[in-house]
Chains A and B, each alone.
Chain A
Amino acid sequence: LAKTTQPISMDSYEGQEVNITCSHNNIATNDYITWYQQFPSQGPRFIIQGYKTKVTNEVASLFIPADRKSSTLSLPRVSLSDTAVYYCLVGDMRNSGYALNFGKGTSLLVTP
């Protein structure tokens, strides 16, 4: 399984764009990059998944450079309710499922 490295914490003000970068130097050919969000005492919630280049949905964008050794989750115009822990997962989820541990994640604090 690819090891991932993310910042432990980030702070932002409401309305700003937040970019959280994840390093995954030993990503394998079949691996996907998936991001989850977790609020205290709740289960993680899927945000976005990608393989290469850029993926965008209604809540976030995921940027993946050509070498795929890192990825950046972009949250446009964050609000207070985006305060949560964000996890970057790298693995062959689409073939092997989710038999993996979540890392420590990035704790995002959004303030007024």
Chain B
Amino acid sequence: EPEVTQTPSHQVTQMGQEVILRCVPISNHLYFYWYRQILGQKVEFLVSFYNNEISEKSEIFDDQFSVERPDGSNFTLKIRSTKLEDSAMYFCASQEGVSTGELFFGEGSRLTVL
């Protein structure tokens, strides 16, 4: 069964460092998303991406965050200067087409900022 894969599974970084989280969505999917989940809290929408550009972003997705799909397969989330409050599980998700209604999530990347 096709799946969304994410790397790394866990990253520990120092405050102020740049972090890149990587995702390989399912190959024929067109819509891509990043979410985050702070420990014990809700799954929060960060950004959606379609046709090589951001389609929507939340208030959380400020100038410290960026996304790109550099090579047509990987979908990355970059945090430029990490803060303690960025510590969370980050989930990538993909959707075949908007009309299909089902979102496929990866296993997540746990980010710990010290």
Hey, which bits of chain A sit against chain B, CB under 8 A?
A: 32, 34, 36, 38, 41-46, 49, 87, 93-105
Tell me the interface secondary structure of chain B in the complex.
strand
Bound complex: CA A96 to CA B108 (Å): 24
Can you list 21 A-B contacts with CB-CB less than 8 angstroms, sorted by A residue number? A38-B43, A42-B107, A43-B4, A43-B108, A44-B91, A44-B103, A46-B102, A49-B101, A94-B99, A94-B100, A95-B98, A97-B33, A97-B55, A97-B56, A97-B98, A98-B93, A99-B58, A100-B45, A101-B58, A102-B43, A102-B44
Query: B19-53: contact bitstring with A at CB < 8 Å (1 yes, 0 no)?
Result: 00000000000010101000000111100101000
- Which residues from B are CB-within-8-Å of A100? 45
- A101 and B44 in contact, given A41-B89, A43-B93, A94-B99 (Cβ under 8 angstroms): yes
